Amino acid sequence: MSVVESYATKLARNRLGLWLFVISDAFVFIGLFVARMVLLGDTRPHLEQGLGLAVTILLLVSSFLMNRAEVEIAHGNRPAFLRNIFITMVLGIIFLVGVVGVEWQLAPFGPADGQAGAVFYAMTGFHAFHVFTGVIFLFIVWNNGRRGHYSAEKHWAVEACAIYWHFIDVVWMFFYVGLYLLGTPV
């Protein structure tokens, strides 16, 4: 005998699963931040401050636009949803280019050059991987949105994408402070 679950029941299970994932993933990021604090103490890698601030602002703006996308689809405004999620995706790609394509090239050390290099590349690399997967998630949601798969009543994928994107942004705020602001540059 097959039991058909209601949308509300599936939604509750999906939300629980996503939040359990986010919490478990947060432990890895916390571990990286603790490693930074233990290994580098009151020092920090010598990094391009302007670039760090620029990519941080990009990520904050993208988070705002992701929120707008979620609100717009919840109100049934598909064109505004599509525009906001598309711009969020583009800003995520620019963030990746800024960190991996530019900052990694400008850093005066490599991943094997002592604790500062190991910490910097581990933190930014793991975060960049999450941004990359977030951009893929954004693309899938945007593409499904173009096809009309979401409505004001049913848009769980958009909500899930927003939660994941905001999580990535919050993590970067801590990483930005830890890598670019705390301590004396070495």
Which residues are registered as beta bridge partners of 185? 44
**H-type helices in 41-113, by residue range?**
49-74, 78-96, 104-106
Q: Could you read off the pLDDT of 73-83 as tens digits, one per residue?
A: 999 999 999 99
Q: What is the pLDDT of residue 142?
A: 98
Give residue 3's pLDDT band: very low, low, confident or very high (50, 70, 90): low
Query: For residue 2, is pLDDT > 70?
Result: no
**pLDDT tens across 108-128, in order?**
999 999 999 999 999 999 999
Query: In which element (H, E) is residue 184 found?
Result: strand 184-185
**CA 43 and chain centroid, separation:** 26
Q: Of all residues in the chain, what percent carry a pLDDT higher than 70?
A: 98
What's this model's pTM, rounded to 2 decimal places? 0.94
- Domain covering 7-185, topology: Four Helix Bundle (Hemerythrin (Met), subunit A) (1.20.120)
